Amino acid sequence: MTARPRILWAALGLLAVGVIALGFALNSLRGYTGHTVPRIAPEALSRLLAPSYRVETPAGAGPFPVMLLFSGCDGPKDNLDRWAAMARDEGYATMIVDSHGPRGFLDWQIWRLICAGQLLTGQERAGDVAVAIADALALPFADGRLVLFGASHGGWSILDLLALHGRGEVPFNLTAWPDRVARDGLAPVLGTILTYPYCGIMSRVRRAGWRHPAPVGFLLARGDTIADEEKCADLAGRMQGDGLPVTVQTFEGVTHGFDQNVRSPLSPFEFSPAATGEALALGRALLRDYAAR
């Protein structure tokens, strides 16, 4: 092959890469603004999600506070089971919310588009959090108190729910707030626990912060290559400066998803039993603090 065809093919290759990159950027902008996200009534979203809720209760007759758990971008995995078991030991009922399976986002590894910020952004999935809050409060054994737990993308979704609600904006996938949230706001939420959440440029919370006065606990991984922990630390500092109760614990020598053992093939992340145990102990202390408020 002569030099001219090689240069032509190289130029075409660069052009193709540029077109793909532009497509991703435009789709990311679409996700951030929410202009093309289909909106449905909260009752319809509840009908979609509720059959996949995994609800368990601790020993005893109740009523109980309820912890709602939201997974990372790869869907519910064993880390949620560990956190739910710990919460039940502390007297909480638990409800694991699957945003992926009911939408078919676990088929053909479509979840990778969620991880890339191209599908089901935090601003959109915030609607799942709002609907799950209303559904959890309606459980016959619920005592009206909630704690939100979010891992990675689930943490992004919870944070963006806090941000959107603080600004009076409805999550992108809803036509309106669920009736219970419209009536009571986020008053039932005692606190939030977030493991290695995304706080980057695509999140609403990075710009808007939040106003709900309940405490928020961040459990971060130093040098996180997926969700830059410094962005969350900066956000936490800003919220502390606004007088909100925020705690931050950063784990050294671990990766993103350090408390998740089940992962996709060739994943660079590593499960750390030691850090997982420490994180659960910190989470236990937070739950006790939240329940005592």
User: 3-class SS at 69?
Assistant: strand
Residue 134 and residue 116: Cα distance in Å, rounded? 29
**pLDDT tens across 22-69, in order?**
333 334 445 455 568 999 999 999 999 999 999 999 999 889 999 999
Tell me the average pLDDT across 67-77. 97
Output the pTM of the full model. 0.89
On average, the pLDDT of the chain sits at: 90
Domain ranges of the chain: 1-36, 40-292
Tell me the average pLDDT across 215-237. 98
- Which is the CATH superfamily of the domain at 40-292? Alpha/Beta hydrolase fold, catalytic domain (3.40.50.1820)
Asked if 188 and 145 touch (Cβ cutoff 8 Å), the reply is yes
Residue 159 and residue 235: Cα distance in Å, rounded? 11
Q: Give phi and psi for 89, each to the nearest 5.
A: -60, -30
Q: Which two tokens stand for residue 92?
A: 């909480």
Q: Give residue 34's pLDDT.
A: 54
Asked if 30 and 124 touch (Cβ cutoff 8 Å), the reply is no
**pLDDT tens across 119-160, in order?**
999 999 999 999 999 999 999 999 999 999 999 999 999 999
Tell me the average pLDDT across 266-286. 95
